[in-house]
Structure 1
Amino acid sequence: MSTQEVADKLISFCRQGQFSEAINELYGQDIVSVEPDGAPEKEVRGLEAVKQKTENFNNMVEEVHGMEISDPQVADKFFSCTMKMDVTFKGAPRTTMEEICLYKVEDGKIAYEEFFFTPMNPGG
């Protein structure tokens, strides 16, 4: 798959809330996933670790009220998008999270992802 095809598929999966399906189909075995300083998990490596990180995030969420994902911007082996999530985390007030998501594609699979956002203050 080309970078554009991977980007389009990822955006489609995410817009449908099918994050696990996206990971299973589009991520490479040696994926590296990076979050900003202050996030619960700064960096994880490997497909199983990314699946666990996703499960950990889902376990922190009480309710997703809405989500918006931009169309991808593609250049060479890279693409980015923005994601905005209206969410209530367990034990915290409802909030809006906004982030820039950057991906690198190698051999038709996502090999690297990095997310840019301001982590929440513990306790709200």
Structure 2
Amino acid sequence: MNTLPEIANRLASLCNELKFVEAYTELYADNAVSIDPQNKNEPIIGLHNLIEREKQFLANVEIIDIKVSEAIFAGSYFSLIFSMHFTIKGQGEKLVEEVCIYKVENGKIISQQFFIG
């Protein structure tokens, strides 16, 4: 699996199944970068750091529902829209909608950036 549509569809499928850590392990490059407004747009660099951040997030939430859109493509990029309804421990429920843009090189995701609506 290394075409852009295959990677995008696999990512959407894993996320819809709540297999976020597996998605990172399977689809991301070792030197992948993430830019997320939840992290004050400070880049997180490296697959290990991305997985650790995801594990921390998952340890503090209970996901009620998630919806992932079909991908759209442009060159070496694809985009998905995530809608996630979850409960944050000690804070209550939250609904987040975000546009997620991914860049792929050599069959792996090398960057992601999230824009929260």
- TM-score category, normalised to shorter length: over 0.9
Q: Give the structure 2 partner of residue 121 of structure 1.
A: none
Q: Give the structure 2 partner of residue 52 of structure 1.
A: 52
Q: Give the structure 1 partner of residue 6 of structure 2.
A: 5
Q: Give the structure 1 partner of residue 15 of structure 2.
A: 14
TM-score with structure 1 setting the length: 0.87
Task: Say whether the 8 Å CA contact 2:21–2:55 is kept in structure 1.
Answer: no
- After superposition, the C-alpha distances for 1:15-52 in whole angstroms (9 at most, x for unaligned) are 1111111111100011001112xx24632101101011
Q: Give the structure 1 partner of residue 108 of structure 2.
A: 109
- After superposition, the C-alpha distances for 1:68-104 in whole angstroms (9 at most, x for unaligned) are 1101111110000110111110111212111111100
User: Secondary structure, in 3 states, of the residue corresponding to 2:91?
Assistant: coil
Report sequence identity in percent: 34
Task: Say whether the 8 Å CA contact 1:3–1:76 is kept in structure 2.
Answer: no
TM-aligned CA deviation for residue 60 of structure 1: 2.1
Q: Give the structure 1 partner of residue 73 of structure 2.
A: 74
Unaligned runs of 5+ in 1: 119-124
Unaligned runs of 5+ in 2: none
Matches of 1:95 and 1:33 in 2, distance apart?
22
TM-score with structure 2 setting the length: 0.92
